[in-house]
């Protein structure tokens, strides 16, 4: 029970800390609507499973002790965040609430973006590794390890679904769309800044 509580607290603190996932879900929710925001939340939860899988299988030990592999992952993660930030900064498409809900393609794109944002995030990698090395007891069964991993994913999904619901509310979307240029620039700068932080320090 103590181990479960520790994993829960560790996960909750990591999930609610602001970062690239938060910025990306906010952008998807206000720009494309609730369905896209919720799809991005699902993508993030799936991205967490990538880190859980290689951590439980022991590959993370190799990555964390191999500077070249870790640097490659860090560069990929940083580059992707900078790319998303650049797209937000240079966006010229005006958003309209009258345009209707997001298309199936937009929802799938939000899902993919959420997945890649998390799967390429070195901080999530370090969080998952830390949780399993500092909190989970050595010798725990694979079933229990994957159960903890599932909990981490569900926690991410729940939190970012709440973020999506909040930022996709009609009143807030209207206020943000009225200030779209400013909002896009703030989110773009935040994502680029986070990307640069990843490049320099390897954390989100």
pLDDT band at 138 (very low <50, low <70, confident <90, very high): low
Return the axis-axis angle of helices 20-32 and 170-178, rounded to nearest 10°.
90
How many H helices and E strands in the chain?
10, 0
Give the pLDDT confidence score for residue 204 in this predicted structure: 43
Largest CA distance in the chain: 56
Q: Is 121 left (phi over 0), alpha (psi -120 to 50) or beta?
A: beta
Asked whether the beta carbons of 63 and 125 are under 8 A apart, the reply is yes
165-191 per-position pLDDT tens digit: 999 998 998 888 888 889 889 988 988
Give the pLDDT confidence score for residue 153 in this predicted structure: 95
Is 99 a residue whose pLDDT tops 60?
Answer: no
Residue 31 lies in domain: 2-201
pLDDT band at 98 (very low <50, low <70, confident <90, very high): low
Is 200 a residue whose pLDDT tops 80?
Answer: no
Is 203 a residue whose pLDDT tops 60?
Answer: no
Strand stretches in 11-134, DSSP E: none
Give the pLDDT confidence score for residue 46 in this predicted structure: 96
Separation of CA 121 from chain center: 8
Which tokens belong to 167? 């930022």
Which tokens belong to 2? 């103590």
pLDDT band at 157 (very low <50, low <70, confident <90, very high): very high
Write down the mean pLDDT value for the chain.
84
HSE (CB half, 13 Å, CA atoms) of 41?
A: 24
Number of domains forming the structure of the chain? 1
Better pLDDT: 116 or 16: 116
Residue whose C-alpha is closest to residue 119's, from 21, 195, 202, 17? 21
Return the axis-axis angle of helices 142-167 and 2-16, rounded to nearest 10°.
30
Give the pLDDT confidence score for residue 1 in this predicted structure: 58
101-123 per-position pLDDT tens digit: 667 888 999 999 999 999 988 88
Asked whether the beta carbons of 157 and 41 are under 8 A apart, the reply is yes
Residue whose C-alpha is closest to residue 44's, from 128, 112, 90, 130? 112
Give the pLDDT confidence score for residue 76 in this predicted structure: 82
Give the pLDDT confidence score for residue 36 in this predicted structure: 94
Is 26 a residue whose pLDDT tops 90?
Answer: yes
């Amino acid at each position: 029970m103590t181990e479960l509580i520790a994993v829960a607290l560790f996960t909750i603190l990591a999930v609610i800390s602001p970062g690239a996932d938060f910025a990306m879900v906010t952008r998807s929710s206000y720009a494309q609507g609730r369905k896209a925001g919720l799809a991005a939340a699902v993508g993030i939860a799936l991205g967490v499973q990538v880190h859980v899988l290689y951590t439980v299988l022991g590959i993370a030990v190799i990555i964390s002790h191999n500077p070249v592999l870790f640097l490659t992952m860090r560069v990929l993660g940083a580059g992707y965040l900078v790319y998303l930030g650049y797209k937000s900064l240079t966006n010229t498409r005006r958003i309209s609430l009258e345009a209707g809900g997001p298309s199936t393609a937009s929802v799938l794109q939000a899902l993919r973006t959420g997945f890649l944002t998390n799967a390429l995030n070195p901080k999530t990698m370090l969080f998952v590794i830390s949780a399993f090395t500092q909190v989970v007891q050595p010798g725990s069964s694979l079933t229990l390890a994957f159960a903890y991993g599932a909990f981490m994913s569900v926690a991410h999904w729940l939190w970012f679904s709440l973020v999506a619901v909040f930022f996709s509310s009609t009143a807030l979307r209207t206020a943000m769309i009225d200030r779209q240029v400013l909002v896009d620039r703030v989110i773009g700068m935040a994502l680029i800044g986070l990307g640069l932080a990843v490049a320099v320090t390897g954390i989100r």
